[in-house]
Structure 1
């Protein structure tokens, strides 16, 4: 297995067309990877100058068998890599002088990468958050929740910043990036510019946030579902998610999916009750450096 590493915006321009066929093989399982690529290729998000785009091939010039992305300060993002591919990826990163903070993605890929990384570097690892990939099966929206779903606009910016801060602080994360108001404001501005943020509104007031990511191969991902603590246990998040799911189906979504914290039975139960079912498991490993730089 050969691993080619491309870097930054220039690397993305070569990676995106080379990886396109692979990403569309399984547009549901590979949606996270696909949206990382498409949001930067389409200019929705800026491409990190130190981003790494990996193509893993059986031989030079062959179509990729696997792909992976690393957009610091986020963790390395991988699909369900086998041991051979994980070892080739790790070898290429180490040879290039890269130091990984950790790895996340669809099982068993992250475990394979972590095993290879520890064997080559002597670093230690700890397990991070496990996730569940849920895909919409038959939508069963709640019928007893007051309010309506509206598209968020710039008049809600201040509320949205508070909501994004609350979501980031409440949600377990293994990412090294610090949660700040400035970072939340940047995230909100990106969401509003791309028209990806939605609100559940009751009597003219926003009570819950839900976001959809841009589609990849016709597949949409729902993310950042958040209700302020004082407004919880009233069904707002479930209603907002169900209504947005229906909207995405109405505009032609091939599939709608979301990720949940595998350790949170409450959120998993909410989504399963409105018609989502578990399809796959995600895993994370965080690395701690124990070697001295040479």
Structure 2
């Protein structure tokens, strides 16, 4: 296999049509890649000048067998690459003089990249967060939780910024750059501008947050589910996730999915009780030069 690297916005303009069919084959497992590509191709987020878009082909001129994306300062993002594809990707990155801080994505792709990277460099690799991809099967919404789901407007922006900071503080992170209040504000503005930030409200007070990413081939990903500590263990997050899941089905979602921390049995149990089931695993590796 050979890997072709395209760079920045100009590279993305060639990458996007080349990978459309590949991404559409499995918009659930490849949802994170779909989102990263579409957000930048549609101008929702600016394309990083040093972003790299990888086309991994079995032979020159053939459709891509695999793809990958690197949008610094984030980690390299890969699908479930095999060893041959991972080796081709790492070879191309090193030939281009790139040093990536780590890799994340669907198993076993990150492990394959980590093996190839450490075999070709002096870096060591550390296993990071493991995730679980859950897909909604049959929704079972709780009916005994007080409150209601509302779409957040801009008046809730300060509350949402605090909630996103709390969510990040509670979530193990492997990204090379620390998450700041400015990052939280940018994320909240992104959710609010698209009408994708929702709140569970009890007696006029927001008690939980749930958001979702733009759809990829009619597959919607729920993310940033968070309840402040003083409102936990009352079922608010489960109720909010279930109600938002139903809303997404009502507007035409072909699939609703979310990622959880594989090491957190509490959150996994909550989602499984409302009808989600695990279909795949994700993993992360970070690299440290010797």
Q: Is the pair's TM-score, using the shorter chain for normalization, greater than 0.5?
A: yes
Give the aligned partner of residue 15 of structure 1.
15
Aligned ranges 1:16-31 → 2 under 5 Å = 16-31=16-31
Give 1:7 shift.
0.9
Counterpart secondary structure, 2:99: coil
Give 1:188 shift.
1.0
Give the aligned partner of residue 32 of structure 1.
32
- Normalised to the residue count of structure 2, the TM-score between the two structures is 0.99
Aligned ranges 1:1-294 → 2 under 5 Å = 1-290=1-290
**C-alpha contact (below 8 Å) 1:2/1:56 kept by paired residues:** yes
Counterpart secondary structure, 1:158: helix
Q: List runs of 5+ in structure 1 lacking aligned partners.
A: none
Give 1:144 shift.
0.5
Give 1:112 shift.
0.5
**After the TM superposition, which parts of structure 1 deviate over 6 Å for at least 4 consecutive aligned residues?**
none
Deviations 1:83-116 (A, max 9, x none): 1100000000000010010001111100000000
Deviations 1:196-220 (A, max 9, x none): 1111111111111111100001100
**Separation of aligned partners in 2, 1:44 and 1:236:** 30
Give 1:251 shift.
0.7
- Normalised to the residue count of structure 1, the TM-score between the two structures is 0.97
**Separation of aligned partners in 1, 2:19 and 2:220:** 19
Give 1:69 shift.
0.6
**C-alpha contact (below 8 Å) 1:44/1:194 kept by paired residues:** no
**C-alpha contact (below 8 Å) 1:152/1:199 kept by paired residues:** yes
**C-alpha contact (below 8 Å) 1:124/1:288 kept by paired residues:** yes
**Separation of aligned partners in 2, 1:282 and 1:180:** 25
**Separation of aligned partners in 1, 2:17 and 2:198:** 31
Q: Which moved more, 1:188-197 or 1:20-29?
A: 188-197
Give 1:186 shift.
1.3
Give 1:264 shift.
0.2
Deviations 1:187-240 (A, max 9, x none): 111111122111111111111111110000110000000000111001110000
**Separation of aligned partners in 2, 1:195 and 1:11:** 30
Give 1:176 shift.
1.4
**Separation of aligned partners in 2, 1:81 and 1:46:** 27
**Separation of aligned partners in 1, 2:87 and 2:245:** 38
Give 1:6 shift.
0.7
Q: List runs of 5+ in structure 2 lacking aligned partners.
A: none
Give 1:41 shift.
1.0
Deviations 1:128-181 (A, max 9, x none): 000000000000001100111111111101101100111111111101121211
**Separation of aligned partners in 2, 1:185 and 1:212:** 16
